[in-house]
Amino acid sequence: TDERLRAGRRAYDLDRSHVFHSWQAQGPFDPMTVLAAEGPYIWDGEGRKLLDMSSQLVNTNIGHQHPKVVAAIQEQAASLCTIAPQHVNDARSEAARLVAELTPGDLDHVFFTNGGADANEHAIRMARLHTGRTKVLSAYRSYHGGTQLAVNATGDPRRFANDYSAEGIVHFMPAYQYRSYFGSSTEAEETSRALRHLEDMITLEGPGNIAALILETVPGTAGIYGPPAGYLEGVRELTSRYGIVFIADEVMAGFGRTGRWFALDHWGVRPDLLTFAKGVNSGYVPLGGVAISDGVFETFRDRAYPGGLTYSGHPLACAAAVATITAMRDEGMVENADRLGRDIIGPALHEMAQRHPSIGDVRGMGCFWAIELVRDRATREPLAAYGGSSPEMNAVIAAMKSGGVLPFANFNRIHVVPPLNTPDADLRFGLEVLDEALSIADEYAA
């Protein structure tokens, strides 16, 4: 309606006057206004409907405004909006029970945080106290959050400007077959060489100094490059052998995104700590957390844990998590994500790769896919440099938006990361829009 459009314009003006945005030069930033959202769709400031193939920041796993989750938040608000973390609260207890039940192995204790970055910060703190060691191994081409320690643990360009207090963080080269750091030509070679490199890093840094290894099970923003067969099992074996706490960052890959409740479930690997956020309640209310194994938990049985948050286990966020997990189970959303990946997204992207010379690589699972756009398939020269954008990538993104799709793009990649319950026909429409937009990239591909 006209009234809604006017309200949107006023919100835009106030935003530009007063809202300070993440990761932006504030001056030239021209944000999109969102007037409304429903399921996998959003409506922009001009009232145009866009299919959200980004799930926002890959967090709206159940889409927008799921009626059961909205109702659960309303009911919780009517009964109790907030309570300090030291008290027992039924929404919090139930959310913790569900997380303990869904996470693999003996990850049966849950420390709730406000989001993913602080979940990783607390996981690292727990690992340091548990081991009495300080160093932390973390992969290049990773993202672990925007707070100080989490951004230092991060291995992407967002770290560069924040690297003045890296406090014992040491980066290693990940297994990443498309641009192998180890000159591997097969998956088996990549696994064995990446593990040998990791063991060398442990030896050279001094195993007795290393508290934790933090790793995204399937790295997300850094490119959705799933681990080659045997890699995660090898990381688990090395960390166990050297007494290093294995922290699996499932903030983006967890809660159904890959077609399993946790990405780790594809490989049967059990970490000592698992961090989550985003999909736990689709971001309807901020929530993250650390799922803690019995072994790490024992350290804090008789010793105080020196950390906390006013909003740890916030009732509104936890009620949203309980309702989200319940809706995901009742509606088979995790199985559906698996099916969408196998039957629709994967086949469509692989078929596009046969027609579009700009597609260098296709990879993913469930509702978690990436394509790398290149200028030349032989050299794999990316369509935008690491850490940057390019007019060509911007043209592809603009074409998708004008075709009615909100994409997730990072450097030279387009990620296909829709809500797990996107209807098949809508998803096919989104993939057709991507297909058409890629003809722009093809003009620059050899």
Residue 88 vs 161, nearer CB to ligand PLP: 161
Please identify, among the stretches 111-119, 172-180, 297-305, 310-318, the one whose residues bind ligand PLP according to the rule CB under 6 A.
111-119
Q: Which of 144, 236, 260, 413 binds ligand PLP (CB under 6 A)?
A: 144
Residue 257 vs 356, nearer CB to ligand PLP: 257
Tokens representing 152 are: 């230092």
Contact 262, 280 (CB under 8 A): no
What minimum distance in Å lies between the beta carbon of 221 and ligand PLP? 5
413-430 b/e with 16+ CB inside 10 Å = b?
bbbbbbbbbbeeebbebb
Quick check: 57 binds ligand PLP (CB under 6 A)?
Answer: yes
Quick check: 360 binds ligand PLP (CB under 6 A)?
Answer: no
Relative to beta strand 273-276, strand 245-249 is parallel
For residue 9, CA distances in Å to 1, 217, 352, 365 come to 13, 41, 38, 39
Quick check: 284 binds ligand PLP (CB under 6 A)?
Answer: no
Quick check: 55 binds ligand PLP (CB under 6 A)?
Answer: no
Task: Tell which positions 192-221 bind ligand PLP, by CB under 6 A.
Answer: 216, 220-221
Q: Which one, of 189, 187, 201, 265, lies nearest residue 239 by Cα? A: 201
What minimum distance in Å lies between the beta carbon of 219 and ligand PLP? 7
Residue 3 vs 23, nearer CB to ligand PLP: 23
Quick check: 427 binds ligand PLP (CB under 6 A)?
Answer: no
Q: Please give the Cα distance from 255 to 235 (Å, whole number).
A: 22
Quick check: 281 binds ligand PLP (CB under 6 A)?
Answer: no
Cα angle 209-273-208, degrees, rounded to a multiple of 5: 10
Q: Please give the Cα distance from 174 to 177 (Å, whole number).
A: 9
Q: Which of 228, 230, 271, 288 binds ligand PLP (CB under 6 A)?
A: 288
Tokens representing 46 are: 């001009």
Q: Which one, of 216, 206, 205, lies nearest residue 155 by Cα? A: 216
Residue 143 vs 246, nearer CB to ligand PLP: 143
Give SS3 for 383. Answer: coil
Quick check: 35 binds ligand PLP (CB under 6 A)?
Answer: no
Give SS3 for 332. Answer: coil
Using CB positions, name the residue nearest to ligand PLP. Answer: 116
Tokens representing 294 are: 């019995």
Please identify, among the stretches 65-73, 93-101, 137-145, 432-440, the one whose residues bind ligand PLP according to the rule CB under 6 A.
137-145
Please identify, among the stretches 64-72, 180-188, 246-254, 337-345, the one whose residues bind ligand PLP according to the rule CB under 6 A.
246-254
Residue 344 vs 370, nearer CB to ligand PLP: 370
Q: Which of 8, 40, 104, 116 binds ligand PLP (CB under 6 A)?
A: 116
Residues in contact with ligand PLP, total (CB under 6 A)? 16
Quick check: 277 binds ligand PLP (CB under 6 A)?
Answer: yes
Quick check: 256 binds ligand PLP (CB under 6 A)?
Answer: no
Measure CA of the first residue to CA of the last residue in the chain; give whole Å. Answer: 47
Helices and strands (H, E) in the chain, number of each type:
14, 16
Contact 291, 277 (CB under 8 A): no
Quick check: 309 binds ligand PLP (CB under 6 A)?
Answer: no
What minimum distance in Å lies between the beta carbon of 401 and ligand PLP? 21
Q: Greatest CA separation found in the chain?
A: 65
Quick check: 444 binds ligand PLP (CB under 6 A)?
Answer: no
Q: Please give the Cα distance from 318 to 321 (Å, whole number).
A: 5
Residue 145 vs 341, nearer CB to ligand PLP: 145
What minimum distance in Å lies between the beta carbon of 316 and ligand PLP? 16
Contact 253, 216 (CB under 8 A): yes
Q: Which residues contact ligand PLP (rule: CB under 6 A)?
A: 57, 115-117, 120, 143-145, 216, 220-221, 249, 251-252, 277, 288
